């Protein structure tokens, strides 16, 4: 049977992720040092893990309401108020999802009709464009530039808006660049968003990993709460990637629309994860602060390390990646990463896996122990000396 012929055209059209291709290459190599992951190297804080264990022990193994446990939604609402000065009604304006990944999917699906355009500043997280395409919308990349610290500028934004543009996906602190948008940066694009009647899908999964100043959510700016679908989750700040738990805060109409998809496709997030997350929000702030401090120390260390080797590297102020330029070596991202892997057994991710603007860059994760980072830097320096 030719199974291919049954697969939908839209799926066939979507290319495999550049990360996936590189992953296949890496998994065939042995004894490599990887700086290639997008998840914390910390284990979920013990109190949260214990709550998950206790939840199972108590027999908490049922469905929850579609929107999530009321106690968790209250805890999320309080967290958003205390950390980002956002007011969301836990009953109608917050829903719990299976990771921020589901939240992204729900957000685009609830908004888009065929051929609606969605602006995506790139380099960007690999899921946005495919999620938009799966909904039969049209992803429109807005290139960002190292010269602007990979921020979305008003001119770049304006240049891509058409009458079909319906939404903008913001993702700051950013994966892969580590760029952030300050309050002033957000004010700079505010009028353009409002004048063009755009909805913002704001993926703020790395918000707690902001190293200088405080993260500002675009939803906290005037007139923006109504037109923002705010996405966040527990994977990064609480080191809970495997628990698959995220959430959305938005206006009641959007929440209701997204809940229609959620209730027919997913029903609810796992109850044990939800119970554990309540513990995280209410009792584990110290753990988050401690992890952030450690990331920050490594961030400073690795930026300096790359600069000393001779790579140009703007200073990322969020997430746990640096995005140095490797253009000096004369190689493109794929060549650089493949040769580094082959010759030094170090894995970093090619920047163009995150969009064309990422070519000439590599994504380096510092969600690794300092010892590992030091060892990897030595090998990268040895490799780079051949070219620069």
Partner 1 sequence: MDILELLCQNSRLTDEQIATMTGLDEETVKNTIKNLEEENIILKYSAIINWEKTDKEIVHALIDVRITPQQGHGFNAIAERICQYDEVKSVSLISGGYDLSVEVEGKTMKEIALFVAERLAPIDGVLSTTTHFILKRYKQNGVFFTDGPKDKRLVVTP
- Residues lying near partner 1 in the complex (CB under 8 A) are found at 17, 19, 22-23, 26-27, 32, 34, 36-39, 41, 43, 125-127, 175, 293, 297-298, 300-301, 304, 347, 349, 370-371
Q: How far is the CB of 246 from partner 1 (least distance, A)?
A: 14
Q: How far is the CB of 304 from partner 1 (least distance, A)?
A: 5
Alpha-carbon span 318 to 335, nearest angstrom: 27
Q: How far is the CB of 374 from partner 1 (least distance, A)?
A: 8
CB-wise, 19 or 108, nearer to partner 1? 19
In 3D space, the residue among 233, 15, 263 whose CA is nearest the CA of residue 127 turns out to be 15
Per the CB < 8 A criterion, the answer to whether 190 and 228 are in contact is no
Q: How far is the CB of 59 from partner 1 (least distance, A)?
A: 28
Query: How many beta carbons lie within 10 A of that of residue 345, not counting itself?
Result: 16
CB-wise, 259 or 334, nearer to partner 1? 334
Per the CB < 8 A criterion, the answer to whether 331 and 260 are in contact is no
CB-wise, 160 or 307, nearer to partner 1? 307
Q: How far is the CB of 168 from partner 1 (least distance, A)?
A: 21
CB-wise, 216 or 349, nearer to partner 1? 349
Q: How far is the CB of 381 from partner 1 (least distance, A)?
A: 15
Q: How far is the CB of 348 from partner 1 (least distance, A)?
A: 9
Report helix, strand or coil for 67. coil
In 3D space, the residue among 95, 111, 112 whose CA is nearest the CA of residue 103 turns out to be 95
Residue 225's DSSP bridge partners are none
CB-wise, 81 or 300, nearer to partner 1? 300
CB-wise, 133 or 199, nearer to partner 1? 133
Q: Which residue has the tokens 């966040």?
A: 232
> Per residue in 50-72, is it b (16+ CB within 10 Å) or e — as a string?
ebbeebeeeebeeebebbbbeeb
Alpha-carbon span 35 to 46, nearest angstrom: 25
CB-wise, 160 or 375, nearer to partner 1? 375
> Per residue in 360-388, is it b (16+ CB within 10 Å) or e — as a string?
bbbbbbbbbeeebbeebbeebbebbeeee
């Amino acid at each position: 049977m030719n199974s291919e012929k049954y697969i939908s055209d839209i799926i066939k059209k979507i290319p495999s992720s550049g990360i996936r291709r590189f992953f296949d290459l890496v998994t065939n190599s042995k004894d490599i040092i990887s700086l290639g992951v997008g998840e914390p190297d910390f284990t979920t804080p013990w109190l949260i893990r214990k709550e998950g264990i206790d939840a199972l022990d108590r027999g908490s193994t049922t469905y929850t309401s579609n929107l999530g446990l009321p106690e968790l939604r209250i805890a999320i609402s309080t967290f958003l108020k205390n950390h980002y000065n956002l007011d969301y009604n836990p009953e109608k304006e917050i829903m719990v999802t299976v990771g921020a990944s589901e939240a992204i999917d729900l957000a685009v699906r609830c908004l888009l009709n065929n051929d609606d355009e969605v602006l995506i500043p790139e380099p960007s997280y690999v899921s946005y464009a495919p999620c938009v395409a799966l909904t039969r919308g049209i992803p429109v990349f807005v290139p960002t530039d190292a010269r602007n610290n990979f921020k979305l500028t008003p001119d770049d934004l304006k240049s891509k808006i058409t009458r079909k543009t319906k939404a903008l996906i913001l993702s700051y602190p950013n994966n892969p660049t580590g760029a952030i948008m300050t309050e002033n940066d957000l004010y700079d694009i505010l009028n353009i968003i409002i004048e063009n009647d755009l909805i913002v899908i704001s993926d703020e999964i790395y918000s707690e990993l902001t190293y200088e100043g405080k993260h500002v959510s675009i939803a906290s700016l005037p007139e923006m709460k109504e037109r923002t679908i705010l996405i966040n989750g527990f994977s990064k700040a609480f080191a809970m990637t495997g628990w698959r738990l995220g959430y959305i805060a938005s206006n009641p109409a959007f929440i209701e629309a997204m809940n229609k998809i959620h209730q027919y496709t997913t029903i609810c997030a796992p109850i044990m994860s939800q119970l554990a997350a309540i513990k995280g929000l209410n009792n584990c702030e110290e753990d988050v602060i401690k992890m952030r401090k450690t990331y920050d120390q490594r961030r400073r260390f690795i930026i300096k390390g790359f600069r000393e080797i001779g790579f140009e590297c703007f200073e990322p102020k969020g997430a746990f990646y640096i995005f140095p330029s490797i253009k000096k070596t004369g190689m493109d991202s794929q060549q650089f990463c493949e040769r580094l892997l082959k010759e030094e057994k170090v894995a970093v991710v090619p920047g163009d896996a995150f969009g064309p603007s990422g070519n000439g860059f590599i994504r380096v994760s510092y969600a690794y122990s300092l010892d590992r980072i030091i060892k990897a830097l030595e090998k990268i320096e040895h490799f780079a000396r051949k070219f620069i």
